[in-house]
Amino acid sequence: MREAYPVEEAVGIEHFVSDGDGVGGRLRASPEDFRVREIERFDAEPADADPGAYAHLVVRATLREWDTNDFAKRLADALGISRERVSWAGTKDKYAVTTQLFTLRKIDQSDLEGVSIYDADLEVLGRAGRGLEFGDLAGNEFEITVSDPERPENAEEVRDQLTDWADESPGAVGVPNYFGQQRFGSRRPITHEVGLHVVRGEWEEAVRSYVANPYETEPEDSQRARREAADAFAERDWQTVLDAIPPRLGFERAMANQLVESGGDGPEDFRAALEAVPSNLQRLFVNAAQSFAFNRILSERLARGLPFHRPVAGDVACFADEVEGLALPDPDREQRVTERRVETVARHCERGRAFVTAPLIGTETELADGEPGDIEREVLADLELAPEDFDLPGEFHSTGTRRAILVRSDLDMDGATAGSDALTFEFALPKGSYATVLLREFQKTDPAEE
């Protein structure tokens, strides 16, 4: 198997499954080259519905080059409300054109009149009795252009290899359902490192890792600020830590400001510093640690040559629902695969009705048996993780779940011929799966050089 790049290995992605040379080229030469549109399972009442019964205004936003968290804060500021009153179903890439839903609690349509946010178009769809949640997202449709491909004609060979590897029908492809670089920080992939410290109860180390750990792929002035913060951190000089961090690093400043206020004397103070950032970012720290372990498990399964498109004895499979042509694995509908049941479950997998899973470790996670279980236990032991470690306070607590190890999709390509100056991919993926994980197989480029 073809080895991954070092920056991918740092987040647990160790291999490519296609051996063919990639097309090269660039992603996101402009935001318009990366278009994402949500597929939701969320119904809205008319906009004039009773706000007493339907307290949430439902808005569709088309955003150009907006981080979802940053946009939510900007929208909340424009409306003069707390950011906690803004909800959404999925976080999107910043360097893209994205279309997704937001709900605004206790906001009327008239409150949006006169609200203008740069590179954001808002459309009121109606009202709802509750805010959006992650479960309301079914998946995403993508239209992505790779600019200036060096070898666009290679795309067909890669597609054939991905079809064969996942035992798919012509036109469809499959890849390991890795968590992509964005999960860990595209420019500074350290979110899982923070999460591992949190899970181990190393609150001070978690704050230091987030605030004062420079990364070579971030801007030089950010690296310099973090080095200054690291020196002040060692001296427990929290005011100097705060002064070193530029305003654009708002979450880091929020942590440092909390340390200034508390004095930063013990574990409770450092935990409070982590809790100074939005609740979804607190959850992301632990989620990133779980994602890193998941990626490591998938890489080890690949290295051992175990299949992804069908189970082996000991696996845990889950059944799937279908929404707008997407197969959505449901981890709440699990089945352990015994030797006697392997072929029966394999037939369900072939038809897209079931998927083999691996754990996102948490307090209620049960591991697989047989060789898949051996892989899971070995990776978790290497990372010094156990289910009980996730019995944590507040937003850091996680019961865990299981996740499909294979993601498949029908794929349309345009421009896959020699001399083409752009190669366009159109496909849809279930929620939680990453377009970049599919595209990395086609490009074979180093993410550190993008």
**Which residues, in sequence order, are CB contacts of 430 under 8 Å at separation 6+?**
138, 139, 326, 327, 328, 329, 407
Handedness of CA 112, 116, 118, 124 (dihedral sign): positive
> For tokens 């997202």, what's the residue?
137
Decide the pairing of beta strands 34-40 and 97-105.
Answer: parallel
108 is catalytic: no
- Catalytic residue, chosen from 19, 21, 70, 93, is 93
Q: Which two tokens stand for residue 68?
A: 């979802």
Q: Taking a C-beta distance cutoff of 8 angstroms, is the pair 357, 402 a contact?
A: yes
Q: Which two tokens stand for residue 399?
A: 């019961």
Taking phi over 0 as left and psi of -120 to 50 as alpha, with beta for the rest, 38 belongs to: beta
Q: Which two tokens stand for residue 240?
A: 């100097």
Report the number of secondary-structure helices (H) and strands (E) in the chain. Answer: 13, 15
d(CA 371, CA 384): 20
Q: Which helix (H) or strand (E) holds 376?
A: helix 370-382
d(CA 33, CA 407): 23
Looking only at Cα atoms, what is the longest distance across the chain? 64
Where does 124-187 have alpha helices with state H? 155-165
Q: How far is CA 75 from the centre of its chain?
A: 23
Q: Taking a C-beta distance cutoff of 8 angstroms, is the pair 184, 191 a contact?
A: yes
Indicate which residues carry an active-site annotation: 93
